[in-house]
Amino acid sequence: MSDEARNRAIPRHPVLGWSAFSGAVQPPVPSVDALPQVVYTSSGRAAIFLALRVLGCSPGDRVLVPTYHCPTMISPVVRLGAVPVFYPLTADGLPSIDWLTHHAQSAQAMLVAHYFGFAHSLAEVRALCDARGVGLIEDCAHAFFGAADQPVGRWGDLAIASLPKFFPVPAGGCLVSGRRQLSDVALRPPSGWDELRAALDVVELGARYGRFPGLNVLLRAAFGVKALVRGRRITAAVEDASDDVPPPSVSELDEDLLGVSLPRASRRIARRAHRARIVEWRRRNYALLAELLRDLPAAAAYRPELANDVTPYVFPLEVRHPPLRYRALRAARIPLFRWDRVWPGTPSIAGDCGTRWATSMFQLACHQDLTESDVRVMAATVRRVFSDVA
């Protein structure tokens, strides 16, 4: 099997299988959905949109957002008609308090993210928001589990999370709070077809990766017949190896799904998955990547070691001279991506790490459904590419 074929066989995201329900249910670290107010949404971006509404944001209001972002963080602000105001980041991935002190006047809300799964204390940000009457949205899309002085999700007036980043579900998010009532957030249920499709898709993907020992052959045959009848087949999420991607826009947000709740199957998987396994295996895969990629030429792990309360989303690798290396790694089909689709109008601010990270920070998968062999193949591919591409 060629390297590219082997890399294609590595799951890009968590995959449903029997192992999802093995091990301890409760994680050894806090989770964001342990807060008293929880609303399950169709996506993380929908959760951001709803959070802005709960905070009373209206067209024309200023919303503070980070220079390091994916389009789905900014599109809800623009869809609402509010004005994104970009703030710079420090080397720790935290908002620059000095910059905010001089530029945060008259903002209605602020979005602050825990990048890559590394939760940070937001005490200074919280104090600034309280002093200026700014609603704080804590973006836990990368940090479903963790703590920094207090559990993730408790710094913000509201917090959001993304389920597919940590659980084997095709889509979904949640809006949570320990400070605000969310009883007025009313979402309509998905259609019966959407409920069925959500359940079938996760099982079909798991069968494709052989995650149901004893039933894989039967499931593949059944889904094969379905594909023939319907003329389609589900595929794993694989990034296009080309650089021909559309610019970010409000189309990143499917307005039809803003008012729809999460399908029951996805909710049950997220609630019943054995979370201790998720934490343990992500930490194991991260540590193995750190070991295998140590002393990599022209690159360095953002955080070579994990604190005890960290559950990583990805393995962030900061790369010097990234363009050719990134293109080569995408062509090799390893599960890697970066946030290089910067929202139009994102400014260049002196001392900001965010705009640099957009191209230099590579995010390697380290999720719980990667085997040790998967991780070793990924690391070997990275080393080969870095050796071949100057």
pLDDT in tens, 58-106: 999 999 999 999 999 999 999 999 999 999 999 999 999 999 998 888 8
What is the reported pTM?
A: 0.92
**Whether residue 38 is found in the same domain as residue 169:** yes
| Nearest Cα residue to 200 out of 242, 232, 157, 243 | 232
pLDDT at position 238, please?
Answer: 37
Other CB atoms within a 10 A radius of the CB of residue 12 amount to 19
pLDDT at position 267, please?
Answer: 94
Q: How many whole angstroms separate alpha carbon 129 and alpha carbon 143?
A: 21
Structure tokens at 253: 């947000």
pLDDT at position 241, please?
Answer: 42
Q: Which residues contact 52 (CB under 8 A, 6 or more apart)?
A: 63, 76, 77, 80, 82, 109, 137
Question: Is 243 part of any domain?
Answer: no
**Whether residue 311 is found in the same domain as residue 358:** yes
pLDDT at position 104, please?
Answer: 81
pLDDT along the chain (390 residues), means of 10: 77 93 89 95 95 96 97 95 97 96 90 97 97 96 96 97 96 95 92 90 88 80 61 44 59 72 94 95 98 93 94 97 92 93 94 96 97 96 87
Share of the chain above pLDDT 90, in %: 75
**Whether residue 361 is found in the same domain as residue 227:** no
- Which is it for the CA torsion 251, 163, 219, 264, positive or negative? negative
**Whether residue 214 is found in the same domain as residue 114:** no
Question: Is 78 part of any domain?
Answer: yes
Domain membership of residue 286 as a residue range: 3-13+274-388
pLDDT at position 242, please?
Answer: 44
Total structural domains in the chain? 3
Q: Which residues contact 265 (CB under 8 A, 6 or more apart)?
A: 195, 198, 199, 202
